[in-house]
Chains A and B, each alone.
Chain A
Amino acid sequence: NAGVMQNPRHLVRRRGQEARLRCSPMKGHSHVYWYRQLPEEGLKFMVYLQKENIIDESGMPKERFSAEFPKEGPSILRIQQVVRGDSAAYFCASSPISTGELFFGEGSRLTVL
């Protein structure tokens, strides 16, 4: 029973490039959350999605960031025109229903040069 799968685990981008982070939730889970962990900080909520719907994106930066969870395939967090301040670990979590019991992936660590 695979856990939450995130890829890539590590991603290096130059300023101005695009970063795409993928997340496959646990089998049977239809709720996906993205969190960001900046250096020396705790995790910050970014967005909550269900299949084909964005439920809560109150933690997403207003520009350059977008997320989707299509009917088929993984959830994707997309960062356009990356800047150095986007360097962080991005964690995806899933839950079977909105219970708060989240199962986290191992994270995608983005480094912007």
Chain B
Amino acid sequence: AQSVTQPDIHITVSEGASLELRCNYSYGATPYLFWYVQSPGQGLQLLLKYFSGDTLVQGIKGFEAEFKRSQSSFNLRKPSVHWSDAAEYFCAVGIGAGNTGKLIFGQGTTLQVKP
């Protein structure tokens, strides 16, 4: 069955520290992969996406993610976290044939940033 797993429900890091949020997916075909961020009471904003090509993708706000087919993973990283990065982060996989707007989301990882 198609699914997305984000193993970490909550993560706390100190400001300036590096960050890695984990995402594993289960999907039979070549996946379209996304990371979104959601601030409290707000909608989702796209951080980055992977469709094909270079497996290391750069996104907005200094985030990057690496697609590893052998591990079915698409982990999100940032070398130095800012207090404004505190939010909820969602990994998603596009599952619709010819319609990649149909996404399966993980349950999200809440990031807390300590001063």
A: residues with CB less than 8 A from B are 4, 31, 33, 35, 40-45, 48, 55-56, 91, 93, 95, 98-107
Contact = CB atoms under 8 A, between A and B. Distances in A.
A78 to B, nearest CB: 21
Interface of B: 4, 32, 34, 36, 41-46, 49, 51, 90, 92, 94, 96, 98-108
B44 A55 contact: no
Q: Which of A33, A99, A100 has the most CB of B within 10 A?
A: A100
Nearest to A104: B43
Given A44-B105, A106-B42, 14 more contacts: A31-B101, A41-B107, A42-B105, A43-B90, A43-B92, A45-B103, A55-B99, A91-B43, A98-B96, A99-B100, A100-B94, A102-B46, A103-B46, A106-B43
Contacts of B4: 42
A102 B103 CA distance: 10
A100 B107 CA distance: 19
A16 to B, nearest CB: 28
The B interface is mostly helix, strand or loop, or mixed, namely: strand
Contact of A56 (B49, B51, B96, B104): B96
B73 to A, nearest CB: 17
B99 A48 contact: yes
A31 B100 CA distance: 11
B45 A100 contact: no
B90 A56 contact: no
Contacts of B34: 100
A104 B96 contact: no
Contacts of A100: 32, 34, 49, 51, 94, 100-101, 103
Contacts of B41: 106
